[in-house]
Structure 1
Amino acid sequence: MLKPDTLALTVTLALLTALGPLSTDMYLPSLPTIAGTLGASTAGVQLTLSSFLLGFAVGQFFYGPVADKIGRKPVLLFGLGLYVLASFLCASAQTIETLTLARFAQALGASGPIVLARAIVRDLYEGPRAGRELSRMAMIMGVVPAVAPVLGGLIAVFVGWRGIFFVMVTASLILAAVVALRLPETIRLKSPAPLSFGSILRGFAVLLRHRGYRVYVMLSMLGYGGLFAFISGSSFVLQGVYGLNELTFAFSFAFMVLGFISGTTLAQRVVGRRGLDGTIQLGVVFLAAGGLLMLACVGLGVPSSLAVTLPMTVYAVGVGLTMPQSMASAMMPFPDRAGAASSLLGICQMTFAALLGIGLGQFLGDSALPLPITISGTGVLALVIFTMTGKVRQG
């Protein structure tokens, strides 16, 4: 069995959270090709990304509270099973509408593993140790977005974009086998509250009345929102505006991933000295600096794609510093509601990112400027919110 404080458990939980990035980043290089194959517009194919995030938000409404009631493992296996089925439907889609709906269903399945991996961390660890574990998971998980676009580009070149979704089917089947055979049940005390739609909403209301919880959720939303804006818009900007092909785009995308891994690695080193809030403070500075630098480079007309990718690397360092610590801080006051706290955080995070992606998709075209405007906005707002909420966070 997988045991706490072991690399094997950390890797398993990290790979469960990596289903989300795997589901988006692997097919990013193929978005223009998919648009051509299925006869879709740029906004139409971009909707397959936003529908995934909306499905992610909807799925997280249920997974956490249900897992608080009946346990982590059976709910986790249900989510993985749904993900396998939906990934197969994605591979078989013949229209953009079918692919969009299948992506929504795929997200319903993928949302379970990421919610429950965070809840399992809260089951097993406290305080900065939980933040450090989430950072370790994020660092390992960060390898997936580094490799996924390159792998997806190669698959698309040799077997077509549908093969990408068959790889997702295989990966999730392997994870389901590991969970079924090796992962123990971690919940210590199951929730005695009746399980109903109303009880879930009342539980969420308890969480939202906690002012500190609201602050940390907003910080997580903003950091991920800027990251998703890059994920959803980068293929059109870097390929359409700067002229990169599928493989050169994939390697350029890796700059951002290396920044994220660097941020999570740095977080593990400093969280013991600076604490959760001190690490988040460092992260929001990187978020604002990266966003403003990108806005300046693109606004001044720097002709290279590095005008986008290098500032995004700085922003991604901020995401790696901010998000794991914000998640740990948000869940820390609620050991008896870890699943619900993780669910609501995910709902807010993914809904915000999906709406941001939909809005960005309406403005993307011949200019790269909408992308840095969006990313700089999220970074600066995160810095402002952190600066103005010191008393709330200390309380």
Structure 2
Amino acid sequence: MGLFGLGQPIACHDRSDSMLKPDTLALTAVLALLTALGPLSTDMYLPSLPDIALGLQATTGQTQMTLSAFLIGFAAGQFFYGPVSDRVGRKPVLLLGLGLFTVASLVCALAPNIEILIAARFLQALGASGPIVLGRAIVRDFYEGPRAGKELSRMGSIMGVVPAVAPVLGGLIAQAYEWRATFVVMLACGVALAAVVLLRLPESIRTKSSDPISFAAILRGFGTLLRHPGYRTYVSFSMLAYGGLFAFISGSSFVLQGVYRLDELAYAFSFAFMVVGYIGGTVLAQHLVGRYGLDGTIRFGVASLAAGGALMFVLVASGVPSSFAITGPMAIYAMGVGLTMPQAMASALMPFPERAGAASSLLGICQMTFAAILGIVLGQNLGGSALPLPTAIAGTGIAALIAFAGTGRARGKPA
């Protein structure tokens, strides 16, 4: 079997024996950790959000903005990383992003007020957006079709450990030290990943783009992508799936700790329900994609999104007093995310091997912008009631199911 997993080997630019090779667990793990840098940067400090609000004398809405600013920065950074990497290569652009992430993490740790923390989180996200964009692009450089979907699912299975561990670690840090220490840990992770990329990651791009690097050229390239109906369709699936997931990430600490009265560690362990569901979805996807294909796996995913969101809304609206009314259905929704997102990403990038970086960038911009807007709206409505959270999650899940049912022609097959 070749390096694509399809009997067609490719040539890596760096042939050193010390470099990571395609179709190896080591490369999958490194790419997974690179794409996990964003989730790590949000999930680890979630248990500390109430302490940040107290320590910096900030309101719930202001503290929520540290999450939304991160998402906005994540979307803004993805505008350039993909197109620039198509022109100059993946590795140097990846190192630039990791460098910015580490510097911004230090500023976060030293922030004297909520305004500086919000601004530093925006810069931290600008850096963290590079690894996730380029991780997807590197997968497209090395793999095609269902093999790319399977690789993204494998990465998701490994990456899913981060949301499981990060809130628990963050909760322990919040109890033993203070919230600033979580950003010191993020800084250390950024430095470690930069060292691995510098010393072990090969350059994956085979043919560099000849398109000029300019704002106008990037916009023209994005316009070409958006004119492709299949690309728009699969990006919408990814947007909706991630939007509901981010609604939980951004609102769960206030709901589970504020409404259901969980402490930091209890919240962190409750967060694990979502993580287990997500990992289960990515593992299941690796088996389903070979039998049902990318679209068949997405079909199972959007059904799970809708079921989990609707069940959460019904339980909370019915007044079920247990926090399991949130965490149980969220596990079902998160399983849908694990089934849907990797396959939707692979399907969106598949028609564009020559501009995989730009396609990955635009996908991320759409995904993160939608999630940031949803997070801002949710943050303004969170208060003494838990209902706004399941309303947002149910809305995205049901919308994804409806979108799948109505886009058979755009996907080139009956729905």
Q: Name the TM tier (shorter chain).
A: over 0.9
Q: Given the alignment of the two structures, is residue 176 of structure 1 paired with residue 224 of structure 2, yes or no?
A: no
Q: What does residue 300 of structure 1 align with? A: 318
> Pairwise mapping of residues 126-275 of structure 1 onto structure 2 (< 5 A)?
126-275=144-293
Q: What does residue 70 of structure 1 align with? A: 88
Q: Counterparts of 1:334 and 1:224 in 2: how far apart (Å)?
A: 22
Q: Given the alignment of the two structures, is residue 2 of structure 1 paired with residue 20 of structure 2, yes or no?
A: yes
Q: Counterparts of 1:251 and 1:390 in 2: how far apart (Å)?
A: 39
Query: Please, what TM-score do these two structures have when normalized by structure 1?
Result: 1.00
Q: What does residue 412 of structure 2 align with? A: 394
Query: Please, what TM-score do these two structures have when normalized by structure 2?
Result: 0.95
Give the CA deviation at 1:195: 1.1
Q: Given the alignment of the two structures, is residue 356 of structure 1 paired with residue 374 of structure 2, yes or no?
A: yes
Q: Counterparts of 1:186 and 1:100 in 2: how far apart (Å)?
A: 34
Give the CA deviation at 1:156: 1.1
Instruction: Choose the corresponding residue for 2:127, options 87, 99, 109.
Output: 109
C-alpha distance after superposition, 1:101-148 (max 9, x if no partner) = 000000000000000000000000000000000000011000000000
What is the root-mean-square deviation in Å for CA atoms of aligned residues? 0.5
Q: Counterparts of 1:301 and 1:330 in 2: how far apart (Å)?
A: 40
Q: Counterparts of 1:156 and 1:381 in 2: how far apart (Å)?
A: 37
Residue identity in the other structure for 2:105: S
Residue identity in the other structure for 2:254: F
Residue identity in the other structure for 2:106: F
Kindly tell me the number of residue pairs found equivalent between the two proteins: 395
**Is the partner of 1:277 in helix, strand or coil?**
helix
Give the CA deviation at 1:392: 1.1
C-alpha distance after superposition, 1:198-252 (max 9, x if no partner) = 1000000000000010000010000000000000000000000000000000000
Q: Counterparts of 1:258 and 1:392 in 2: how far apart (Å)?
A: 32
Q: Given the alignment of the two structures, is residue 47 of structure 1 paired with residue 65 of structure 2, yes or no?
A: yes
Give the CA deviation at 1:394: 1.3
**Is the partner of 1:138 in helix, strand or coil?**
helix
> Where do 4+ consecutive residues of structure 1 move more than 4 Å?
none
Q: Counterparts of 2:110 and 2:28 in 1: how far apart (Å)?
A: 33
Structure 1 residues without counterparts, runs of 5 or longer: none
Q: What does residue 342 of structure 2 align with? A: 324
Q: Counterparts of 2:190 and 2:97 in 1: how far apart (Å)?
A: 10
**Is the partner of 1:175 in helix, strand or coil?**
helix
Q: Counterparts of 2:337 and 2:212 in 1: how far apart (Å)?
A: 37
Q: Counterparts of 1:213 and 1:58 in 2: how far apart (Å)?
A: 20
Q: Counterparts of 1:40 and 1:229 in 2: how far apart (Å)?
A: 21
Q: What does residue 33 of structure 1 align with? A: 51
Q: Given the alignment of the two structures, is residue 312 of structure 1 paired with residue 312 of structure 2, yes or no?
A: no
**Is the partner of 1:390 in helix, strand or coil?**
coil
**Is the partner of 2:216 in helix, strand or coil?**
helix
Give the CA deviation at 1:391: 1.3
C-alpha distance after superposition, 1:281-338 (max 9, x if no partner) = 0000000000000000000000000000000000000000000000000000000010
Q: What does residue 285 of structure 1 align with? A: 303
Structure 2 residues without counterparts, runs of 5 or longer: 1-18
Residue identity in the other structure for 1:287: L
Residue identity in the other structure for 2:204: T
Instruction: Choose the corresponding residue for 2:109, options 91, 99, 103.
Output: 91
Give the CA deviation at 1:193: 1.0
* Higher normalized helix content (fraction of residues): 1
Q: What does residue 368 of structure 1 align with? A: 386
Q: What does residue 6 of structure 2 align with? A: none
Q: Counterparts of 1:143 and 1:170 in 2: how far apart (Å)?
A: 18
C-alpha distance after superposition, 1:17-38 (max 9, x if no partner) = 0000000000000001100000
Residue identity in the other structure for 2:53: A
Q: Counterparts of 1:195 and 1:18 in 2: how far apart (Å)?
A: 28
Q: Counterparts of 2:346 and 2:110 in 1: how far apart (Å)?
A: 39
Residue identity in the other structure for 1:172: G
**Is the partner of 1:391 in helix, strand or coil?**
coil
Percent of aligned positions that are identical: 72
Instruction: Choose the corresponding residue for 2:352, options 334, 337, 344.
Output: 334
Q: Counterparts of 1:123 and 1:4 in 2: how far apart (Å)?
A: 10
